[in-house]
Amino acid sequence: MSVQEDHGERLDRELMELLNELRVFLPGVQVLLAFLLIAPFNQRFEQLAPLLREVYFGAVLCATAATLLLMAPGVHHRLRWRQGDKEQLLRTANRLALLGAIFLAAAITLSVWVVTRVLFTPTAALVTAAGTAVAFAGLWFALPRLR
């Protein structure tokens, strides 16, 4: 026997579900950003070609944007606590989370390109990064839409 939930209960549940989902993303994006922020202090970093540095910096910017976007719903929730506008909070948080996921996928893809390019050929880097981008697009965005 299922119990019907009212509009407020549904909003409470959906907001908690969203915040819990963000808890899955955050450790990964924070570890990635931390790694990217310390990499330039490695001695070999200075040996990277200018293009590799530029793409690396793009990965840093994407990871930073992902961190900001994925953490924003929690901050919004704290700032708007008990203001009675959960529906708008949930809509905004959902958009921020999706945009954060896009930037996280971009940061990982760019990082994979840089690492693969350092280790192997430009072709291998392109194929690996393209495969990574396709995997993110397929598993994170296309697959949920197929239903």
Tens of pLDDT, residues 100-139: 999 999 999 999 999 999 999 999 999 999 999 999 999 9
The C-alpha angle with vertex 101 and arms to 95 and 107, in degrees rounded to 5, equals: 140
| Both structure tokens of 50 | 């200018």
Compute the Cα dihedral for 75, 79, 81, 86 and give only its sign: negative
Tens of pLDDT, residues 66-98: 999 999 988 887 787 777 778 888 899 999 999
H helix intervals, 5-145:
7-38, 50-79, 86-119, 122-136, 143-145
Residue-level pLDDT at 64: 97
Residue-level pLDDT at 142: 95
Give the count of beta carbons closer than 10 Å to the beta carbon of residue 99: 16
In the predicted structure, residue 3 carries a pLDDT above the cut 80:
no
Quick one: which of 43, 117, 31, 39 has its CA closest to 67?
31
| Both structure tokens of 102 | 């896009």
Instruction: Quote the CA–CA distance of 105 and 97 in Å, as a whole number.
Output: 12
Residue-level pLDDT at 88: 86
Residue-level pLDDT at 70: 93
Overall size of the chain counted in residues: 147
Query: Mean pLDDT of all residues in the chain?
Result: 90
Q: What is the pTM of this model?
A: 0.87
Tens of pLDDT, residues 5-20: 888 788 888 888 888 8
